[in-house]
Structure 1
C-alpha cells in the first residue's frame, strides 16, 4: 500500500492501493493524500529522456511489476517459514529491522535527512503502529494456526475494510451503489473462503480473526495519516525511513518484554525473515514507488489482484498446504468486490464543453 503526501508517494506497506481517480480527486483522495500543485522535490524530478529509455530497456516496468507481485505474494510464505524457527514477534522485529536497513541506506545514498519536526515524529509513531507493527505482528501470529494461503487472501480484504471505514470516518467520501455492492460482494467472498455454511469448520477462528484484523489495521492507519500528515515537506524516503525505524523500536520493546531471546538461530527461517524484511518490506516499497511514478497508480494498483494468487500458489506448491474449492472461489469474489469498491463511474463532459 502507498499513500501520497504533498505530491510524494509515501510508505507502501501492504498490497492494497487506491485507484487513479482517488489519487487525483481531492474529494475522494486515498487516506494520507492531499492534492497539491507544489513543484516536486529534486529527487522526484524525471530523469533525462535518454536515461529513462535506457532504464526501461534494461528494467521494463512489466518486469518490475512481476517482481513486485512475486515479492509480496511470497511474503506470506516467508512469514510461515520464519515462524517455524522464531517467535512471531521476533519474525516481525526482523522484518521491520531489515526493512529499515534498506530504507535508511537509500536515505543516506540520497543524502537526505530524517524529519525534524516533533509533530511529524508523533504522527509517524501512530502510523508505524497501525501500518507496520500491529498488522505485521498479527499476520505472524495468525500463521501459527492458519495456512499462508488463507493469510494472503485475508490481506486482500483490506480495500473492503478501507471503504467501510472511510464511509464512517471521512465525511467527504460518499457511498455509491457500485461501491456498496462491492463491499457486500467482498464480505460474501470472505464468508465463502471461511466456509460459513459449514460452521467455519477447518479454519482456526483465532488465527483467521488475527489475519482479518491485520487487514483492518491498514485502512485505520491510512485514515489517520490522511488526517494528520497531509502536506508535510519531507520526502517519501525520509518519512518511510522514520516510520519503519519507529516500528522497529515498537516491536523491539514489546518483544523484549514478552518474548524470550532465541536460544538458536536456524538458518532457513532466518533467511526467510531476511527476505521478508529486505525484499518484502524495504525493496518492495522502492519498487512500488518507481512503478507509480512511471506508469501511474491505476496500473500499479493491479498488483493487489495478483498477490493472493501468488500467495496461494506458493503455499500449495512449496509448503504443501491443502486447498479446498471454496478458498479460490471465495478469493475471486473478494477480489471482485475490492475492485468494485475502488472503481468509479466515468465522468461525462457536459454538452458545449470542450
Structure 2
C-alpha cells in the first residue's frame, strides 16, 4: 500500500499561486510571440517544445506512454479540445485583443464546464450556488463582449468571440479528460501535446512556411517561456496540485489567474482595461469563486440521550 502523506498546505498554496502566475503569464508570452511568429507556427512550436519537456520528465519518472491505438485516438481528440483549437484561437485573437482581456474571458472555463455538465453529461449535481455563479459569470462575459458589439463590429469583437470559443473547448477538454482514469495524470498531458504537435506541424508548413520567417529574439524568448514554463512546467504543477489539494482546490487557480494575468499584461505590455472590462472581471471572479470554492459541510447534529 502506498503511504498517504498529509500535504503541507503552505507549500501547496504557494505552488497554486505559482501555477496561476505561469498560466496568467501565457497570454503576455503569446502577445509577444505573435509579433513576428504567426499564430499557427507559434502554437505548433509551443506543443513541440512542451511535449518534449514532458516526455523527458516522464522518462525520468520511469513512466511509459500507452501504445494502444484506442488511447492515442483519445489523446488526439483531447489535443483538439485542449491545445490545437483553443491555443490557436487565443493566439489569433491576441492579434487584436489585449492579453489582459483574453485572460479574463478565458477564466470562464469552470462556468462553461458546468453548463456542459448540466445540459449534456449530467454527471454532477447542480446546486443553487453553482447556478448563481454561472449566471454572474456569464453576465460578466456579456458585459465585455456586448459592449464591443454595440461599439463596432470588427476584428476585436471577433477576437473576443474566438477567446470565448477557446474557453468552451477547454471546458469540453476538462470533461473529456475523465476518460483517462487509470493513467498517470501527466500521460494524457504529454500524449495530447504530442498529438497536437503532429496535427499542427503540417498545417504550419503549409500555411506559414516557417523557414521563410525571421522571428525576433523577443518573440523566440516568449515562445520558449510559453512552452517551457506556461505549458510544460505548469502541467507538472497542476497535476501535483490535483493529487495534494484535490480537483476543487486545484481549480482555484481559475480565479487567481485572471487578476495576475491582467497585472502581468499591464506591467510588461502597458495595457489598460476600460470600465466594461473591469466590471466583467469582477463578475467573472465572483462567478468562478462561487463555483469552485468548497462548500462548508453542515455541523453534525448533537445526539440526545
TM superposition score normalised by structure 2: 0.89
Count of residues in Structure 1 that have an aligned counterpart in Structure 2: 301
Task: Kindly state the Cα deviation for residue 98 of structure 1 after the two structures are TM-superposed.
Answer: 1.3
The equivalent position to 1:300 in structure 2, one of 235, 238, 250, is 250
Equivalent pair of 1:81/1:269 in contact (CA under 8 Å): yes
Pairing 1:1-150 to 2, within 5 Å after superposition: 60-150=11-101
Quote the offset at 1:339 in angstroms: 2.1
Q: Cα deviations across residues 167-208 of structure 1 (Å, max 9, x unaligned)?
A: 111133343332222211111111222353981459811100
Q: Distance in 1 between matches of 2:204 and 2:103?
A: 24
Find the aligned partners of 1:220 and 1:299 in 2 and give their Cα distance: 20
Rounded to whole Å, the distance in 2 between the matches of 1:325 and 1:218 is: 27
1:199 is paired with a residue of what secondary structure? helix
Q: Is the Cα contact below 8 Å between 1:101 and 1:278 reproduced in 2? A: no
Is the 1:107–1:113 contact (alpha carbons within 8 Å) kept by the matching residues of 2?
yes
Which residue of 194, 207, 210 maps to 1:258? 207
Of 330, 338, 344, 2:288 maps to: 338
CA offset at residue 334 of structure 1?
0.8
Deviation sequence 1:233-288 (CA, Å, 0-9, x none)? 43223332211111111111222222222421311101101110111010011112
Q: 1:102 to 1:120 in 2, by over 3 A?
A: same
Which residue among 104, 113, 116 is the counterpart of 1:153?
A: 104
Q: Deviations over 1:305-342 (max 9, x none)?
A: 12111111121221122321221221111111122234
Match of 2:144 in 1: 193
Equivalent-residue separation in structure 2 for 1:111 and 1:193 (angstroms): 46
One of 209, 215, 219 as aligned partner of 2:171: 219
User: How do residues 322-333 of structure 1 correspond to structure 2 at under 5 angstroms?
Assistant: 322-333=272-283
Contact 1:195 1:326 in 2 (8 A): no
Using the alignment, how far apart are the partners of 1:69 and 1:345 within structure 2?
22
What is the deviation of 1:347?
A: 4.4
Taking the aligned partners of 2:262 and 2:158, their CA distance within structure 1 comes to 20
Rounded to whole Å, the distance in 1 between the matches of 2:301 and 2:247 is 27
Q: Aligned equivalents of 1:68 and 1:342: distance in 2?
A: 16
Aligned to 1:274: 224
Bigger RCO of structures 1 and 2 (CA < 8 A, at least 6 apart): 2
d(CA) in 2 for partners of 1:78 and 1:218? 19
- Greater fraction helix: 2
In structure 2, the partner of 1:183 is: 134
Matched residue, 1:5: none
Task: Give unpaired runs (5+ residues) of structure 1.
Answer: 1-38
Counterpart CA distance in 1 for 2:70 and 2:229 is 30
RMSD, matched Cα: 2.7
CA shift for structure 1 position 343: 5.1
CA contact (8 A) 2:79 2:195 kept: yes
Pair 1:163–1:80, CA change in 2 (3 A): same
User: Contact (CA 8 Å) 1:123, 1:225: kept in 2 or not?
Assistant: no
Structure 2 counterpart of 1:168, from 113, 119, 142 = 119
1:78 to partner: Cα distance = 0.2
Contact 2:110/2:291 (<8 A) preserved? yes
Q: Work out the CA distance in 2 between the residues paired with 1:335 and 1:311.
A: 13
Q: 1:150 to 1:332 in 2, by over 3 A?
A: same
Normalising by the residue count of structure 1, what TM-score does the alignment of the two structures yield? Answer: 0.77
Instruction: Out of 176-185 and 328-337, give the one that drifted further.
Output: 176-185
Structure 2: 5+ residue stretches without partners: none
